[in-house]
Amino acid sequence: MAYKRVEVPAAELERQREICAKIREGLGGARPLAFVDTYGCQQNEADSEALRGYIELMGFGFTEDENEAELIVVNTCAVRGHAEMRVLGNVGALVHAKARNPRLIVAVCGCMVQQPHMAEKIKNSFRVVDLCFGPHELWRFPELYERAARRRGRVFEVSPCEGVVAEGLPVHRQGSVKAWLSVMYGCNNFCTYCIVPYVRGRERSREPEAVLREFESLVRQGYKDITLLGQNVNSYGNDLGGKCDFPDLLRKINDIPGDFWVRFMTSHPKDATKKLFDTMAECEKVCTSIHLPVQAGSDRVLQDMNRRYTAEKYLSLVDYARKLMPDLTITSDIIVGFPGETDEEFESSLAFVRKVGFARAHVFAYSRRPGTRAYDMGDQLTNAVKEARSHEMIRVTTATQQAFFKAQIGRTEEVLFEREIQKGVWEGYSMNYTPVAVASDTSLAGEIRSVRIESCTDTHCMGAVL
């Protein structure tokens, strides 16, 4: 596929920062509040952190209450119809906030509005929205905001695009212990059910030097659990002329001095190599957990999904990785009710989940996405069938998760604590991504402690700090 990466010139980004400074000066010392509402995946969370970075430079503070906001940005997801309906419902309801505060600016961005039919729908039926822009325009949010704020009509920037790379966006991170770091954008895989390649454009990798610089700066700021993001991190570097693939990048990151853990997601099984697992096993700061979506357990369904691996191939990866890393935690995504999925094919997905024994798996009922190949496939299943299969699949994934939790009992794990979930109960994740809760009267937030796992509930392993 001929694709030329488009890098946003540094001068352009500088101009965006200048616009932020002008907006801030225009506030004359006031500090209006902004609400950034995020739907969907971690990439969207990361995008929202860049939006917040700009918004902070514009002189705004932040709120989670739409009634006190002067600016509301809704960062949307298009992966499933359900999330889209929820967004539209919530955006529609903003008419009340706007009636109370006519100066309120409402922006809707992200994957949902990159679909032409959705941008049209917002233009025609959601007059409350002042500004609408797709993921490729995020780097010029200040300019778009300024245009919308001047109120010379509504602003829609949602043209098709193969994708840009913008280095040096300001980032306002939510946490102080865990951080997201995008290493690449877009996807070339065109799984037949998935809208992502259409809305996020073609794969483009950030230069390793840029990733390493950002990683080092996160370590200096005290972040301890850093997750590298990409729709398919295993094809990182394919567009960089062979100078650095994903395992190479992991190794360079592992060499950065400091106390931190590094995770990554998502991995596509067709591109997961022995080199990846060898590198994970050898690099002590790379966590022993992998999110490896299998999607289905039947080869016929996998083929119609255009996944380009078989159930057998997936199992051989799991075998190889578990031999190297007996403690490896494997999590997954499963789609049930893909067009034409028979009872037997669904059974083979259930059997597959049991066989691998996923530590956790997200179960998704197939959602028909306009513009994708699966949309036009015959034999679309009814909602009733999809729901029944979801319930059954969730029963099985809950059971494999419990089995995984029970297998942790008696082990001692390093746990990075994050927050108090009830009075005196602190929650964190172990290096192998087990959710762990312990009792403690003093704050454990941001601390890494050795914990002996003693029991488990439906949602956590319970233990005691040593």
Query: In sequence order, what E strands does 274-385 have?
Result: 289-291, 329-336, 360-365
Residue 77 in contact with ligand SF4, rule: CB under 6 A:
no
Beta bridge partner(s), residue 448 = 416
Q: Which is nearer to ligand SF4, 208 or 269 (CB)?
A: 269
Q: What's the min distance (Å) between Cβ of 103 and ligand SF4?
A: 38
- Rounded alpha-carbon distances, angstroms, from residue 15 to 28, 166, 169: 21, 13, 12
Convert residues 187-206 into a mask of x (bound to ligand 5AD by CB under 6 A) and - (unbound).
------xx------------
Hey, what are 438's tokens? 């312990």
H/E segment holding residue 210: helix 208-220
Task: Tell which residue, 201, 198, 204, 209, has the closest CA to residue 184.
Answer: 204
Residue 268 in contact with ligand SF4, rule: CB under 6 A:
yes
Residue 449 in contact with ligand SF4, rule: CB under 6 A:
no
Q: Which is nearer to ligand 5AD, 192 or 329 (CB)?
A: 192
Choose which of 19, 71, 73, 79 interacts with ligand 5AD (CB under 6 A). 79
Choose which of 21, 26, 30, 190 interacts with ligand SF4 (CB under 6 A). 190
**The entry of ligand 5AD, ligand SF4, none that residue 235 binds, CB within 5 to 8 Å by partner kind:** none
Give the whole-angstrom CA distance, residue 375 versus residue 155. Answer: 30
CB 46 within 8 A of CB 227: no
Give the whole-angstrom CA distance, residue 277 versus residue 274. Answer: 5
CB 388 within 8 A of CB 415: no
**The entry of ligand SF4, ligand 5AD, none that residue 110 binds, CB within 5 to 8 Å by partner kind:** none
Q: Which is nearer to ligand SF4, 197 or 340 (CB)?
A: 197
CB 438 within 8 A of CB 448: no
**Helix residue ranges per DSSP H, 357-428:** 383-408
User: Within 13 Å of residue 430, how many CA atoms lie on the same side as its CB?
Assistant: 27
Residue 302 in contact with ligand 5AD, rule: CB under 6 A:
no
Choose which of 129, 191, 211, 328 interacts with ligand SF4 (CB under 6 A). 191
**The entry of ligand 5AD, ligand SF4, none that residue 80 binds, CB within 5 to 8 Å by partner kind:** ligand 5AD
Query: In sequence order, what E strands does 164-307 have?
Result: 164-165, 178-182, 184-185, 204-205, 225-229, 261-265, 289-291
Q: Which is nearer to ligand 5AD, 114 or 279 (CB)?
A: 114
Q: Which is nearer to ligand SF4, 58 or 111 (CB)?
A: 111
**The entry of ligand SF4, ligand 5AD, none that residue 231 binds, CB within 5 to 8 Å by partner kind:** ligand SF4
Residue 69, C-beta contacts closer than 8 angstroms, at least 6 positions apart = 33, 34, 35, 63, 97, 104
Of 147-155, 208-216, 345-353, 362-370, the segment contacting ligand 5AD by CB under 6 A is 362-370
Provide φ and ψ at 192, rounded to 5°.
-70, -20
Under rule CB under 6 A, which residues in 193-222 are in contact with ligand SF4? 194, 196-197
Under rule CB under 6 A, which residues in 232-251 are in contact with ligand SF4? 232
Of 30-38, 120-128, 147-155, 361-369, the segment contacting ligand 5AD by CB under 6 A is 361-369
Binding site residues, ligand 5AD, CB under 6 A: 79-80, 193-194, 293, 295, 333, 335, 364, 366-367, 369
Binding site residues, ligand SF4, CB under 6 A: 187, 189-191, 194, 196-197, 231-232, 268
